[in-house]
Chains A and B, each alone.
Chain A
Amino acid sequence: MKTSYLKSSLVSMAIALAGMSGAQAAETIKVGILHSLSGTMAISETTLKDTMLMLIDEQNKKGGLLGMQLEPVVVDPASNWPLFAEKARELLSQEKVAAIFGNWTSVSRKSVLPVVEELNGLLFYPVQYEGEESSKNVFYTGAAPNQQAIPAVDYLMNDIGVKRWVLAGTDYVYPRTTNKILEAYLKAKGVADKDIMINYTPFGHSDWQSIVSEIKKFGSTGVKTAVVSTINGDANVPFYKELGNQGLSAEDIPVVAFSVGEEELSGIDTKPLVGHLAAWNYFMSVDAEANSGFIDAWKSFIKNDKRVTNDPMEAHYIGFNMWVKAVEKAGTTDSDAVQQAIIGVSVPNLTGGYSAMLPNHHVTKPVLIGEIQENGQFEVVWQTSGLVAGDAWSDFLPGSKDIIADWRAPLACGNYNVKTAKCSGQNYE
């Protein structure tokens, strides 16, 4: 661990020096990595920075891109949202990076968005998010709600027979929107109001006694109940511990989580969690050739045999390869040309299939449901029969059902209202 830090700080020091001298800049293509390395989000984002370094390293070993070497530019926005915008501006206008891979939280993406649009950069965003957005300059390689939440609910409803729902989330925009969509979806499927319980908690909530007890009571009516959890980050550990201790087993009330992956599990004693579910587009346990290659590469790159892979890493893998392919197709790293070229580009994902970039800047992905195993891995118990296309604008929200995104000419609009035939909310000329 220590060596990897030392190494990455040496790398970044070298980068800083290189950036200052400016002489080499012409021979390399710079790739910006915008992930928090300190502060509250470092826990999740540091891994993604390392993933990007690995992908760039591998690409360079393959001979780089357009005959040039790729050069990673790592900055630390320190989990501070305004700093994300500032660092994005630094990457685009000072370092002149060809593309930025980064951000985890929605708010950091919202903060960066005006900057990439103003400077016409490219941002690859690797995390599942609430949707309701499609920017000319952003490529959403994580799941939209219809690529994670809705299939998960379908699974619970159809395969497990769940009839009562607890939508528990951290109080911020992703859970709020996801739960709004799910609520509308469930009601459309005939679930009554009294069979839906919605609960929000603050970030890092650690005392779950009352809420778990309430869930227990809610679930004791003899009707199959499930918890759809959009609980974020650190709050999960005490939540699952409390679930285990109050005796809510996965057989009684399964919890399906959208923010708990292998990396999160590596910090949790998984014994009480066994059987609970997660919905992702990728699991480390997936048996595919591409995946085992990726896992081996990752373990040897990070020099730690215990490290795990997770869904946002796969999203970066997909996003990076799409960008590489689009640049090769366009023959240039020019932002406009890449934006044109990347739509329709299809690259292998890690679950044995292909993912393609859609005109709305989202990608196609399979949706997998996994059950947590004692060893901290997921066992896939269900998966969609084919790929699911990411939907930028939910069909289940009144404000957005009439909006579509299509970045191809002639529409070339991220939120086109089919009713009013107007394209609004764009920050570019």
Chain B
Amino acid sequence: MNSLDNLRTVMRRDRVFDFMLQTTGLEVDLSHGTILYLEDISVSFDGFRAINDLNLYIDAGELRCIIGPNGAGKTTMMDIITGKTRPDKGSAHFGQNINLLQLSEPEIAQAGIGRKFQKPTVFEYHTVFENLELSMAGERRIWPTLTAQLDGVQRQRIDEVLEIIALQAHRDRNAGALSHGQKQWLEIGMLLMQNPKLLLVDEPVAGMTHQEMERTAELLTALAGDHTVVVVEHDMDFIRSIARKVTVLHQGSVLAEGSMDEIQNDPRVVEVYLGE
């Protein structure tokens, strides 16, 4: 690249003043039926290759489970999709038109990818209601946020979600006072409020009772179809109860992919993972 090109890159308005870049309202194009393309992605930390030539495709409306032993790169993969970590090489596209590697976390979120963390993360000093309100899809710029008021439709939507996650009774409690399982649900509820096209759910049932787990399974299955759901989980029973298609990650790349039965019978998987 010559210096003029360099200069041009530097002077690009969207690079220099990234807050001037118009990103809201960018609609994801799902015309080919695939919502997520991860191709040839590698990333390493301190010489350790967390992701190694990963190729992964997720169809729109799918409920995909991702399993793998510790250190297989599951969380790192999610970090890459949501913009928290930039890969050393490879490409990541959301639908046909959105290059995830060029967007920041909030832009990715607004483009329609929601994420639930491994450790439930909610706004502890806000009430449950406020948590949901803040997560509601919509305007995110400063001034509109400053002047925003809830209208009837929005209130109704919050109430609906409250019902889905069964926290109506805790509506005005501080989120910090909820139990672990309730926080998990609240976080899922916050995802719902965002109304994303793609939900990334990291260990949704950790710390839940059996009963709660069943309800979560129901919820996630119900969401698939309208939304695309990617679940990372350790709990095999849970996976079995919801899975249609399972991907196994090992040492940063896809080891096997298929139905739960196929996976369970795959000798490579048995060797690295189930066989332990």
Q: Are A and B in contact, CB atoms below 8 Å, in the complex?
A: no
B-to-A contact residues, CB < 8 Å: none
A-to-B contact residues, CB < 8 Å: none
